[in-house]
Structure 1
């Protein structure tokens, strides 16, 4: 890879509400194009997938995807996250409810083998029990994303574009994390 591109970043995209009269899949397509206006290059994009809203019956199904991005050399995770948030805002994202329905969500999953803010904090958030995940909200960026290994709607698309990426704390590849999920979870994520 060109050294001027910096460390590749893995992102997950999702939407389940229309924006400007367009369906979620079109919002994802347009958001991927909009990343260039923030100085990001899209190196690879997964297929788009339909995923049930959680909890079931609380809203329309999601459209999910994953992408590998390159940013300028010397860019850091904080500036990348700000760029992703800027694109979300252009597509009507309002941050008023965690895990709520949305017009666009772009999650920074990982940047190479970076562990932020430090290994102990990342491990602690990754090990958080499900009931505590609902209540606790990190006050800073945690990388890799602490719920990455638990979510079929993230891992199925991510396996399209980065199956061999290895989690720097668990030592598992995306393909291995996906295989470790229950088949019932994987089966809910269907290609569009």
Structure 2
């Protein structure tokens, strides 16, 4: 039974957002994120593609150094909930402590989407999507929410996501990554800068 359960996910695409703006035990944010990709592969997750790498201003403005951001496309035999646990274990190895919302961090791994999967249900995901901004700063889900409820609101997620899967369609909002990105304000998108000649997959 377990083998059959895992086989259903083996060829399923998922997308993970990588971000960091503080050093970790292994070095700079970029070095940390490279190491996290290796840890992900060591955990049995196949990394099939990585977006270009970007620099994004810290939010709120002036709260810390710029972030390094990119998105990886992966395949895993694990169910989405198991994949999320793998991401949390990797974050813990690099010193991530989940205390303050939107605080600077040595690593941030967000499971953006797993094909057209919805977790736990449409009503719950819609509730997190429409959560008032003031509550977003103090509340975090205690379970997996898929797709990630803030994809449509964050150019720093959408820009690298579009590098890999611009035509992926949100199963609830019925908009592609490209359409959601086009809807973001121009000034928000212009703040996100490409880091040229940066490679994440080195082998």
| TM-score interval for Structure 1 and Structure 2 normalised by the shorter chain | over 0.9
Partner of 1:104 in structure 2?
Answer: 107
Whether 2:69 is the aligned partner of 1:76: answer no
**Quick one: distance in 1 between partners of 2:136 and 2:25?**
32
Equivalent residue for 2:40, pick from 30, 35, 40? 35
Structure 2 residue matching 1:135: 3-state secondary structure = coil
Whether 2:96 is the aligned partner of 1:90: answer no
**Quick one: distance in 1 between partners of 2:9 and 2:16?**
20
Alpha-carbon distance change, 35 to 21 in structure 1, aligned in 2, over 3 angstroms: closer
State the shift of 1:136 in Å. 2.5
Are the equivalent residues in 1 in contact too, given 2:26–2:32 (CA < 8 A)? no
State the shift of 1:96 in Å. 2.0
**Quick one: distance in 1 between partners of 2:16 and 2:9?**
20
Runs of 4+ in 1 over 3 A off after TM superposition: none
Partner of 1:145 in structure 2?
Answer: 148
Partner of 2:198 in structure 1?
Answer: none
Spell out the pairing of 1:1-192 with structure 2 (5 A cutoff): 5-20=10-25, 22-72=27-77, 75-192=78-195
Normalising by the residue count of structure 2, what TM-score does the alignment of the two structures yield? 0.88
Structure 2 residue matching 1:34: 3-state secondary structure = helix
State the shift of 1:182 in Å. 0.5
- 5+ residue gaps, structure 1: none
Structure 1 residue matching 2:137: 3-state secondary structure = helix
The number of residue pairs the alignment matches comes to 189
Structure 2 residue matching 1:116: 3-state secondary structure = coil
State the shift of 1:21 in Å. 5.6
**Quick one: distance in 1 between partners of 2:38 and 2:30?**
13
Structure 1 residue matching 2:178: 3-state secondary structure = helix
State the shift of 1:41 in Å. 0.8
Partner of 2:200 in structure 1?
Answer: none
Are the equivalent residues in 2 in contact too, given 1:110–1:144 (CA < 8 A)? yes
State the shift of 1:5 in Å. 2.5
Are the equivalent residues in 2 in contact too, given 1:119–1:169 (CA < 8 A)? yes
**Quick one: distance in 1 between partners of 2:9 and 2:156?**
31
Structure 1 residue matching 2:149: 3-state secondary structure = coil
Normalising by the residue count of structure 1, what TM-score does the alignment of the two structures yield? 0.93
Are the equivalent residues in 2 in contact too, given 1:12–1:106 (CA < 8 A)? yes
